[in-house]
Amino acid sequence: MQARDKGLGVWAADATAAFELRDQGSIGPEGELVLPKLFRRCSDYLRTRARGETLVHWLKTHGDPDRPEDDLVVIGGRTAVRLSTLVEQRRNEIAFMADLLDLVFVEK
């Protein structure tokens, strides 16, 4: 928590809360997204999206039933939501609406 508060280490480059998603170069490989799960989902989205498809729509409609791209996420040890509910998108601007340190991804 102290490293994040002081912007040290990986936190100095973290853009997870708000970032541009144009192409792979806009999110890496420098590691601007500290949350690996979100980085992988964004990379797959950029590679396979349909024209005009948003990241939120892509998350909801891709992956198989046993391993959806729209992961189940527990926030603060209490509330379970889908990853798509934590993402807001306006054109190429993405906002991630949760504190990274409060998340646990549920794996099947």
Is the Cβ–Cβ distance between 87 and 97 less than 8 Å? yes
pLDDT above 90 for 100? no
Please give the average per-residue pLDDT across 76-81, as a whole number. Answer: 90
Q: What is the mean pLDDT of residues 4-33?
A: 72
pLDDT: which is higher, 19 or 54: 54
**3-state SS string over the chain?**
CHHHHHCCHHHHCCCCCEEECCCHHHCCCCCCCCCHHHHHHHHHHHHHCCCCCCHHHHHHHCEECCEECCCEEEECCCEEEEHHHHEEEECCEEEECCCHHHEEEECC
Name the residue with higher pLDDT: 32 or 78.
Answer: 78
Query: Could you tell me the residue ranges of all domains in the chain?
Result: 2-106
- 85 residue type, one letter: T
Q: pLDDT by residue (tens digit) across 27-60?
A: 877 656 668 889 999 999 999 999 999 999 999 9
